[in-house]
Chain A
Amino acid sequence: MADSKHSSVTSYVIVALILGVITYIEFALVEYPQAWLGSTWTLIWLIALSVVKFIMVVMFFMHLKDDDRTYTGFFSSGMFIALATFVGLTAMFVLPRAVASTKPENVAAANAAHAEVPEALLKNVETGGASRTPDQIADTPRAADRSVEITPPTASNDASTYSVTTPTTAAAGTPAAGTPEAAPAQAGGANEAPAAAAPAAATPAAAAPVEWDSAHGATVFNSNCMACHQATGQGIPGAFPPLAGHAADIYALDGGRTYLLDTVLFGLQGQITVNGAVYNGVMPAWGHLPDGDIADALNHVLTAWGTPPSGFTPFTAADVEARRPDALTSADVHAHRKAIGLQ
């Protein structure tokens, strides 16, 4: 500790000078790029220079060079764990991104890999990660597991007349509440109503009542769409546009129904304006999902958070299948959006 006055102060001054010079070199490397060095070597130099600064401050200003090794041990351990955390974070984010792609061959490979997923895991996906399997839920339904019956408004589009009731235990207790086979039976009563209430002229598809699996629609939405558009369809301001209300508005437009389907099936890219807010992101194409999943997710979006659009005809797997041959690009869908009068 009792180092002579001159030597330590002199070394501090030298270290400070070197730190200042290195900082200027770093600045110059970025501000006046050296073509002969190339960006990779510039990066390596920048990292090396900052490591030199780091070590000089720790060694000379924090005195680890001459101080007890215990301190060095503690600090090195912290540095090591911090670096490991850093590498782990990078791996978690970079590796999936390197694998994921919308290229057809990669989607095919992903689908092939998906086919080999164990049955138990698929069930887990089916329940949205719930702790109980659909069979267990059917055996002893809890309030949260019961699907809801939706009664559409009879008089107007006023949300206050829109009621949601849970069915009786007996109805919800029908076998395998979450499975596609059983669900139309229990959801049918509710889902016939919108089609029946709609004026027949407004429905481009078949006039016959169409049924869909509302629980399955919610599951598909929650697994694929919720991360961006949020559980209640509110989206994230500035990043992901809202679906609640907005999707129903689009549905009501001439050609809106097909546009909604195209957006999910083929994706959407380009600047859009929703409720006065500008979005310039990318909606990925979800064509790798089964027809039924896409149809049910769309039905979920149009019915889950408000009044279904007037004349609402639920999407069916056949609707989705019929659109597939068009094989639009996300830019085509953007043009489609403009064509039906949206911004």
Chain B
Amino acid sequence: MSAEASTAATGTVVAPYRSSKLPDVKLMMWVFLASDTMFFGSLIGTYLAYHNRSLVGPMPRDLFDIPLTTVSTFVLLMSSFLMVLALHSLRQNDISKFRLWTLGVAVFGSIFLGFQVYEFTHFANAGLSVHQNLFGTTFFILTGTHGVHVTVGVLWLVSLLITSYLRPMQAKDAVYLEIAGLYWHFVDIVWIVIFTVVYLVEFL
């Protein structure tokens, strides 16, 4: 179970000195997700620490649109559902379904980003900017960082989709889709927290 030993080896080649049977890329992804958890923990903590400390408007309650954000949250959750279907299909060597579901995840992710672009534009028109007040600073940095994660995920999935046309992709390659999926689900659970802590709790 030693992380040191497994990072020394690469890919699926099992060196004699390996003490872990776990795929390195997957182990690496979980370690990365653990560190990314701390990153988002700090950003969400900072948002809450500065909550209600803005001296000028606009304030969160002036801007947040809960029905809209609920829809975008639902879209992101369903993209996670499509993600597990894509992985399942690839493991069954069902390449056409794998492509369909993966494309679905990328499209749903893009829809979520579209909602975010709409939201940011709307907020900016209402006078909120990174410089306007502490709410603007912490909100844009937090949700912007999440948006960048989603963008990276969409690009990653599209690159896997393109790869599947360039060279044959089989069940044994599933670990590469699996780590992309882990990343995608992680981005989803971060949004689950942001949706509750930043958006919903605001209106209690």
Expressed in whole angstroms, the Cα–Cα distance for A6 and B89 within the complex equals: 12
Q: With A62-B185, A62-B186, A86-B41 in contact, do A70 and B27 touch (Cβ < 8 Å)?
A: yes
- Which residues, 46 to 68 on B, are CB-close (under 8 Å) to A? 46, 48-50, 55-56, 66-67
Interface membership of A328, Cβ < 8 A: no
- Which residues, 59 to 79 on A, are CB-close (under 8 Å) to B? 60-62, 68, 70-71, 74-75, 77-79
Q: Count of B residues near A, CB < 8 Å? A: 58
Interface membership of A239, Cβ < 8 A: yes
Contacts of A39 in B (CB 8 A): 204
Interface membership of B37, Cβ < 8 A: yes
Expressed in whole angstroms, the Cα–Cα distance for A77 and B181 within the complex equals: 21
**Given A12-B88, A31-B66, 11 further pairs, Cβ under 8 A:** A20-B74, A26-B196, A27-B66, A31-B67, A43-B201, A46-B201, A62-B181, A70-B1, A70-B30, A89-B42, A238-B131
Expressed in whole angstroms, the Cα–Cα distance for A39 and B67 within the complex equals: 19
In the complex, how many angstroms separate the beta carbon of A171 from the nearest chain B beta carbon? Answer: 43
Most B-side CB within 10 Å, residue of A31, A46, A88, A238: A238
Q: Check if B41 sits within 8 Å of A82, measured CB to CB.
A: yes
Q: With A30-B203, A68-B22 in contact, do A23 and B49 touch (Cβ < 8 Å)?
A: no
Contacts of A74 in B (CB 8 A): 3, 27, 30-31, 33-34
Q: Check if B81 sits within 8 Å of A16, measured CB to CB.
A: yes
Closest to A12 in B: B84
Most B-side CB within 10 Å, residue of A62, A68, A281: A62
Q: Check if A82 sits within 8 Å of B185, measured CB to CB.
A: no
Expressed in whole angstroms, the Cα–Cα distance for A75 and B27 within the complex equals: 10
Expressed in whole angstroms, the Cα–Cα distance for A68 and B30 within the complex equals: 11
Partner of B34 from the list A15, A16, A31, A77 (CB cut-off 8 Å) is A77
Q: Check if B45 sits within 8 Å of A239, measured CB to CB.
A: no
Interface membership of A115, Cβ < 8 A: no
Q: Check if A57 sits within 8 Å of B189, measured CB to CB.
A: yes
Closest to B184 in A: A61
Q: Check if A8 sits within 8 Å of B88, measured CB to CB.
A: yes
Interface membership of A5, Cβ < 8 A: yes
In the complex, how many angstroms separate the beta carbon of A233 from the nearest chain B beta carbon? Answer: 18
- Chain A binding surface SS class: helix
**Chain B interface residues toward A at CB < 8 A:** 1, 3, 20, 22, 26-27, 30-31, 33-38, 40-42, 44-46, 48-50, 55-56, 66-67, 70, 73-74, 77-78, 80-81, 83-85, 88, 91-92, 131-133, 181-182, 185-186, 188-189, 192-193, 195-197, 200-201, 203-204
The 4 nearest A-B residue pairs measured at CB: A78-B34, A82-B41, A89-B45, A281-B55
Interface membership of A165, Cβ < 8 A: no
Interface membership of A81, Cβ < 8 A: yes
In the complex, how many angstroms separate the beta carbon of B161 from the nearest chain A beta carbon? Answer: 20
In the complex, how many angstroms separate the beta carbon of B116 from the nearest chain A beta carbon? Answer: 17
Q: Check if A238 sits within 8 Å of B133, measured CB to CB.
A: yes
In the complex, how many angstroms separate the beta carbon of A78 from the nearest chain B beta carbon? Answer: 3
Partner of B193 from the list A20, A26, A27, A54 (CB cut-off 8 Å) is A54
Q: Check if A54 sits within 8 Å of B192, measured CB to CB.
A: yes
Contacts of B80 in A (CB 8 A): 16, 19, 57, 61
Closest to B85 in A: A12
Contacts of A279 in B (CB 8 A): 55-56
Interface membership of A189, Cβ < 8 A: no
Partner of A27 from the list B70, B84, B197 (CB cut-off 8 Å) is B70
In the complex, how many angstroms separate the beta carbon of A239 from the nearest chain B beta carbon? Answer: 5
Contacts of B20 in A (CB 8 A): 70
